[in-house]
């Protein structure tokens, strides 16, 4: 009879294959548009490293055929995704992706294989690789948060800036109001002084106008009197 663990393993493998195949639709769009647009390559690099390590773990573990097969298929799919991403990514993203693949999928994975085969033996080898695989699996499922972390940090920093702006804006408004009051009081005094000066000048002009009007109202000397006065002056001068 087939053991229940084998049946659960088969079901788990089918689900895992479906999970590994889920980005196929995304990469169809990438190939069609010949651009990765805003897609991130880090999740695929982490998943490739995780599946490679799980495949290695399944090969070392007795009765680990199911682990090796499903993760081997996942590693093949992830390798295709990474290759397509490198082909169609912009230049800067392509360079970063190549560096990540070189460091993680070649350097780190190769170092794990060498250390596990030549430096560690027995059950310790499986335990070490098992812990590493579990940690990378957590990293694989948490890698999409790499896009969320900068946004979360930006949200916190933006909120802090808004709070600081609100606090100092209220203080600035209070200071500005008091300053405006001082300016308004000084302006009021200045306007009042100008009004008083204009009032005095108007009064002086009115007095002057009254004097001129009074002078105009005096009786004027007649022309005959002026002529007779000139004759008297002339006769006196001749004498």
Does the structure show a pLDDT above 60 at 172?
no
Judged on CB neighbours under 10 Å (0-12, 13-18, 19+), 217 is exposed
Show the tokens assigned to 127: 């335990």
d(CA 23, CA 83): 13
Token readout for 99 is 């560096």
**25 against 142, higher pLDDT:** 25
pLDDT digits 0-9 by tens, 58-80: 998 888 888 899 999 999 999 99
- Choice among 17-31, 100-114, 157-171, 199-213 with the minimum mean pLDDT: 199-213
Task: Enter the DSSP assignment of 147.
Answer: G
Q: Please tell me the least confidently modeled range out of 19-28, 44-53, 104-113, 201-210.
A: 201-210
| CA pair distance 147, 86, nearest whole angstrom | 19
pLDDT category of residue 208 using cuts at 50, 70 and 90: low
Strands (E), 108-186: none
CA distance 54 to 111: 15
Q: Residue 74 is encoded by which pair of tokens?
A: 């996942």
How many C-beta neighbours within 10 Å does residue 28 have?
11
pLDDT-based confidence at residue 134 (cuts at 50, 70, 90): confident
Instruction: Tell me the C-alpha distance between 50 and 129, whole Å.
Output: 11
The span from the CA of 95 to the CA of 112, in Å, is: 24
- Contact by Cβ (8 Å): 55, 61: no
Q: Using the CB atoms, write b or e for 100-118: b if 16+ within 10 Å.
A: bbeebbeebbeebeeebee
Q: 3-state SS of the chain: helix, strand, coil percent to 5?
A: 90, 0, 10
Mean pLDDT score, 79-96: 91
For residues 158-175, average pLDDT? 66
Residue 129 CA: distances (Å) to CA of 54, 92, 115: 8, 33, 10
Band the pLDDT of 216: cuts 50, 70, 90: low
Q: Judge whether residue 99 has pLDDT over 80.
A: yes
pLDDT reading at 233 higher than 50: no
């Amino acid at each position: 009879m087939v053991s229940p663990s084998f049946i659960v393993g088969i079901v788990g493998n089918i689900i895992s294959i479906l999970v590994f195949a889920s980005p196929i639709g995304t990469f169809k769009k990438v190939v069609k548009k010949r651009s990765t647009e805003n897609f991130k390559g880090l999740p695929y690099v982490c998943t490739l490293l995780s599946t490679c390590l799980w495949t290695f773990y399944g090969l070392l573990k007795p009765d680990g055929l199911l682990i090796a097969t499903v993760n081997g298929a996942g590693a093949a799919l992830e390798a295709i995704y990474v290759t397509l991403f490198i082909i169609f990514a912009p230049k800067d993203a392509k360079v970063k992706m190549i560096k990540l693949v070189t460091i993680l999928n070649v350097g780190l994975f190769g170092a794990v294989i060498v250390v596990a085969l030549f430096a560690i033996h027995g059950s310790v080898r499986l335990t070490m690789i098992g812990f590493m695989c579990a940690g990378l699996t957590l990293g694989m499922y948490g890698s999409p948060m790499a896009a969320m972390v900068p946004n979360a940090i930006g949200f916190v920093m933006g909120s802090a800036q808004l709070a600081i702006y609100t606090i100092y804006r209220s203080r600035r408004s209070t200071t500005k109001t008091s300053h405006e009051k001082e300016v308004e009081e000084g302006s009021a005094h200045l306007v009042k002084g100008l009004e008083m000066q204009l009032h005095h000048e108007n009064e002086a002009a009115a007095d002057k106008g009254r004097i001129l009007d009074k002078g105009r109202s005096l009786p004027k000397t007649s022309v005959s009197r002026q002529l007779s006065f000139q004759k008297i002056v002339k006769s006196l001068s001749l004498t």
